[in-house]
Structure 1
Amino acid sequence: MSDDLNDERDSRRKKKQKRLNRDMLFKLTLVVFVMGGFAYAMVPLYKSICEALNINVIARTDLGAAPGEKSAPINSQVDLTRSVTVEFDANVHGGPWEFHPAQNAVTVHPGEMTTVMYEFRNTQSRTMTAQAIPSYAPGVAQSHFTKVECFCFTQHTLAPGESKTWPVVFYVDDKLPRDVKTITLSYTFFEVGGTTPPAPVGQLEAKPHV
């Protein structure tokens, strides 16, 4: 009779252990599903918070930049309903230097990150150090034109005959007045230590816009 009692106890103990194991497996599975759902929900939640706070969300996307150029991120808050033409101008002061943009103009959407290259060559027979001064037309565009990277931030020293190519990485703010259809970005390159040139004409005299 004692053997039957022991068998019954063993059977109860095994059933209890199986029930505990089953309950534990259910809890672990539930935790996995909850964590996965939370991680999935974090992406739209994060985006909603950024939009509510008016924060620019920058997505890290490979743009396939040309050799020597940096890959620029894409601003996810791009206003595709508008287009703005950005024209590029280059002037030199105090010397026969070669300085010009690689392209005359681009058409961009507000919020869209864009890279444009400028080319410079020291045609003089001596080493020179120079820096660029930017200006904008119309003047209202200046507060809505953000340069993320620009050769105008620093001075540059070039040996006789040396050539350089420098980027300007920028975006136009989506708060730019809607009647502004064209922005002219003008640079004047001058030798450091020489006479600082006046602001380019483009800054003083805006072009008519339609």
Structure 2
Amino acid sequence: MSDNRQQAVNKSVKKLVLVVFAMFGFGFALVPLYDVFCEITGLNGKTSGEAAQVSTAGIDESREVTVQFISHLAKGIPWKFEPMVREIKVHPGEMKVVKFYALNQSERDIIGQAVPSVSPGQAAIYFQKIECFCFNHQPLNAQQDVEMALQFYIDPELPKDINMLTLSYTLYDITAQVDS
């Protein structure tokens, strides 16, 4: 093979290796970038992991929004986890408290973490959690049960065309991550 051809092949190989590393780095950075994007825009129903400030805008009694509560268990967590109320009606700006029930059905202690999601996604920035069990780890001993509170309000700035929200929690077993 001529020297020119060998140099061209070497240059192409170097470019391809660089592209592979760049793609790997970009793929690795996508998850945190996506989380930041969702937090800023409220897309994908991600809610803030921090307590909201109590609104002083007042209650909009001319509107009523239905809030549905759904719970899911991540694969492998032997808990019972469910909302104690499946649906409530709330006026934007009105403070509400609902409870979720959790039971560790296993013979070992487990630490759970609930991750919230709001649907439709654009409503997530208007769903304000004042106090939420999702802010903290939830350690439960074997066969222990607990009622966990969620205090929230819907921001009165919620677009008028949204009259129903669904708050979904997925519960994960994070025992291994916390114990490490």
Same fold (TM over 0.5): yes
Q: Deviations over 1:98-144 (max 9, x none)?
A: 00001100000000000000000000110001110000100011100
- Partner Cα distance (1:128, 1:187) in 2: 17
Q: Deviations over 1:44-87 (max 9, x none)?
A: xxxxxxxxxxx944xxxxxxxxxxxxxxxxxx710000000000
Aligned twin of 2:70: 89
Question: Secondary structure at 1:80's aligned position in 2?
Answer: coil
Counterpart pick for 1:189 among 171, 174, 177? 171
Counterpart pick for 1:141 among 114, 123, 132? 123
1:111 counterpart = 2:132: no
Counterpart pick for 1:153 among 123, 135, 144? 135
Aligned twin of 1:13: none
The residue identity in structure 2 corresponding to 1:164 is V
Q: Which runs of 5+ in 2 are unaligned?
A: 1-53
The residue identity in structure 1 corresponding to 2:67 is V
Q: Deviations over 1:145-172 (max 9, x none)?
A: 1000000000011111000001100000
Indicate the RMSD between aligned Cα atoms, in angstroms.
Answer: 1.7
Question: Secondary structure at 1:149's aligned position in 2?
Answer: strand
Q: Is the 8 A contact 2:110 2:175 kept in 1?
A: no
The residue identity in structure 2 corresponding to 1:173 is D
- Partner Cα distance (1:193, 1:101) in 2: 22
Counterpart pick for 1:129 among 85, 90, 111? 111
- Partner Cα distance (1:158, 1:77) in 2: 38
Structure 2 matches for 1:6-155, cutoff 5 A? Answer: 56-57=55-56, 77-93=58-74, 94-155=76-137
State the TM-score, normalizing by the size of structure 2: 0.65
Instruction: Say if 1:91 and 1:56 are closer, same or farther in 2 by CA, change over 3 A.
Output: closer
Q: Is the 8 A contact 2:111 2:137 kept in 1?
A: yes
State the TM-score, normalizing by the size of structure 1: 0.56
Identity %: 37
Higher relative contact order (CA 8 A, sep 6+): 2
Q: Which runs of 5+ in 1 are unaligned?
A: 1-54, 58-75, 196-210
Quote the offset at 1:194 in angstroms: 5.7
- Partner Cα distance (1:99, 1:115) in 2: 17
The residue identity in structure 1 corresponding to 2:157 is K
Counterpart pick for 1:177 among 147, 152, 159? 159
1:162 counterpart = 2:167: no
The residue identity in structure 2 corresponding to 1:188 is T
- Partner Cα distance (1:112, 1:125) in 2: 41
